[in-house]
Amino acid sequence: MAKTYETGVLEGIATWAHLTEGEVFQGTPTGKLSITVQPSKTDADKMAQIAAECFEEFKNSSENAKKKFTGEPNLGAKEDKDGNIVFKFVANEKIHTKNGQELKKTIPIFDGAGNEVTNKIKGNIGNGSIIGVSYQLFPYHNSSRTFGVSLRLQGIQIIKYVPYGGHDAASMGFAKHDGAFDGSSIIADTDEEDIAGEVPFPAEEDF
């Protein structure tokens, strides 16, 4: 069993959350729960350095002295279509116990106050949400050309929630402007009676 070299928390913008049901790739279930995170440039550089140091420690250990490593390790990071560095965190969807049982993996998910969120929110985290991911790093060597560091998903804290299919201003490319129009300062003065009065037919009429 691989040694756990590092644990920590990475914050960033969430995309492609599969936290209650396993992800599916080209119609085939992968058996993995996963989420992709885009951190700040500074945090991305730190995360890449941590993963690289983790792998070097693993590679240079006495137990791996005779193993061959051809090429660069996979450190769980890639560049998205916009040129941002993103990290993908994964966990097995099912857990197999020693007595032969198969259990469904549950990822703990908390709000900004540290309270566990409802199942409805867990399965409805949309792109653009701001989260923190609790992770563990597991270096691996499957062959001379397949090796690196797996980013294991342990838990999530939701700092800013965007529901699946929803939008916020930032996710649509809008910037925040100081001193600009603030819609939250306007209190609606239309009550239920006003709304009912605008209906162009009697309330008791059948349709």
How would you class 30 by CB atoms within 10 Å of its CB: exposed for 0-12, middle for 13-18, buried for 19 or more?
middle
Listed residue (150, 146, 148) closest to 138, CA to CA: 150
Instruction: Decide if 148 is inside a domain.
Output: yes
pLDDT of the residue at 177: 82
Instruction: Decide if 40 is inside a domain.
Output: yes
Round to whole Å and give the CA distance between 88 and 194: 50
pLDDT of the residue at 84: 93
Round to whole Å and give the CA distance between 190 and 161: 28
pLDDT of the residue at 87: 98
Instruction: Decide if 205 is inside a domain.
Output: no
Alpha carbon 141 to its chain's center: 25
Q: Which tokens belong to 166? A: 């929803």
Quick check: 69 and 144 in contact, CB under 8 A? yes
**pTM: predicted TM-score of the whole model, two decimal places:** 0.77
pLDDT of the residue at 126: 94
pLDDT of the residue at 175: 75
Q: How confident is the prediction along the chain (207 residues), in pLDDT tens digits per residue?
A: 445 578 999 999 999 999 999 999 999 999 999 999 999 999 999 999 999 999 999 999 999 999 999 999 999 999 998 899 999 999 999 998 888 889 999 999 999 999 999 988 999 999 999 999 999 999 999 999 999 999 999 999 999 999 987 666 665 667 778 877 766 666 544 444 443 444 444 444 443
Alpha helices per DSSP H over the chain: 41-59, 119-122, 192-197
Instruction: Decide if 94 is inside a domain.
Output: yes
Instruction: Count CB neighbours of 31 within 10 A.
Output: 11
Instruction: Decide if 32 is inside a domain.
Output: yes
Instruction: Decide if 181 is inside a domain.
Output: no
| Bridge partners for 12 per DSSP | 131
Q: Which domain holds residue 72?
A: 6-170
pLDDT of the residue at 6: 86
pLDDT of the residue at 166: 65
pLDDT of the residue at 116: 95
Residues with Cβ within 8 Å of 71's Cβ and at least 6 positions away in sequence, in order, are 145
pLDDT of the residue at 111: 96
**Domain count of the fold of the chain:** 1
Looking at residue 91, which CATH number applies to its domain? Answer: 2.40.50.140
| Bridge partners for 174 per DSSP | none
Instruction: Count CB neighbours of 153 within 10 A.
Output: 23
Listed residue (131, 160, 137) closest to 10, CA to CA: 131
Quick check: 112 and 96 in contact, CB under 8 A? no
Instruction: Decide if 124 is inside a domain.
Output: yes
